[in-house]
Amino acid sequence: MLETMDHEVTSIYEKSRDAVVKIHALRQIQIGNLLLLPSYRIATGFFIDKDGHILTTATAVDDADTCWIDWRGQRINARVVGRDAQTNLAVLKIDPVDGAPTPFLTQGDSDSLRVGSMVIAVAFPYDQPSVPVVGFVSGLDIQSNGHVFPTTHIRAGCRLSPGQAGGPLLNVHGEVIGIAIAEHADGQCCALPINAAHKISQDILAFGQAQHPWVGLRVSERLPAANAAEPGQRQVFVQQVFSNTPAAVAGFHDGDILVTITSNEVRRSADVLNTMFYHRVGDKVEFTVLRDGLEQKIILTVGGRPAQEAFGFVSAPQAVSPPEPPVVPRPVALPVSEP
């Protein structure tokens, strides 16, 4: 059994590693006429299509003047297409070498993950070659250390070393099901599910920035009254409707019990975040609520989420002396999320 597992992990690593790259980001820091030691970060990334698009962490390339990748023994210039602080995701782009398509990882379905699912992280620790790290999903979290995620994240028993943030998490079929974006204090890694990463990357490619939906509700969970039809099932109710928000315009009331969003049942607060995450600004979404014992339909037009603080915890970049960077053109301006 162990020999079989060893063979499978090795096979998955061998098939995937050519699509995984080391990211370098350099930022010149100048105060007046004084030029300080450049800020240098390394991370991991991976190709998502044949056109040279790469996913990595936003913190790896934040405010970088110059980005490049190590791939197949070459240094190749990369430009930042866009980044999203709320999910700590960035999209980079290289021009395919000699016009050849780039290898890329096949996307799996992160919704199929369960606690106990085996995952394989592939990334570059420190200045070393890429390595596989085997672990298991230990949780599917909507928050950590008081920070609420915009959608459920994967917690896996894969310890991240400096340089490994941004690497893919693969399932037993070699499909990418997440991107490692942070390290938990207990040595586990936190990963953005690939379904969510795909949505954000498509937003960036289509609109120049991520489209985070805004509803304007504060929701909470509670056990229903003892005489309720389903006394054991938790209820998600509207604790507060904020003024001048899509929820207020749509007609939500404090105390409304959320039953469904589109065709998805609402049983936990996480169901609200997970369903709304995949909507875009301008979408019309049907809610079913229970008010005064009667079900009502509410149609809400999704707004844009106001600016919020960046992702709460990230892997610290490796502190090393920067190598000589390649000559690159001036980087494109990074898009800024509008409220």
DSSP assignment string, 118-166: EEEEEE--TTSPPEEEEEEEEEEEEEETTEEEEEEEEEES-PPPTT-TT
In a domain, 324, yes or no: no
Residues 33 and 98 in one domain: yes
* Residue 123 and residue 29 in one domain: yes
Predicted confidence at residue 227, as pLDDT, reads 52
**Residue 154 and residue 268 in one domain:** no
* Whether 227 and 97 share a structural domain: no
Q: Pick the range with the lowest mean pLDDT from 12-21, 250-259, 278-287, 329-338.
A: 329-338
Answer yes or no: is pLDDT of 322 > 90: no
pLDDT of residue 224: 73
- As a whole number of angstroms, the distance between CA 32 and CA 101 comes to 44
This prediction's pTM: 0.84
Are residues 150 and 219 located together in one domain of the fold?
A: no
Element (H, E) at 9: helix 2-16
In tens, the pLDDT along 84-135 reads: 999 999 999 999 888 899 999 999 999 999 999 999 999 999 889 999 999 9
Domain end point (choices 186, 210, 234): 210
| Domains: count for the chain | 2
Structural domain including 242 reads 213-304
> pLDDT tens digits for 215-241?
999 999 987 765 555 655 789 999 999
Q: Which two tokens stand for residue 191?
A: 């990963």
Same domain, 138 and 229: no
Comparison of pLDDT for 253 and 311, the residue scoring more = 253
228 in the same domain as 206: no
Distance CA 235, CA 257 (A): 7
- 3-state DSSP assignment of residue 287: strand
Residue 256's pLDDT is 96
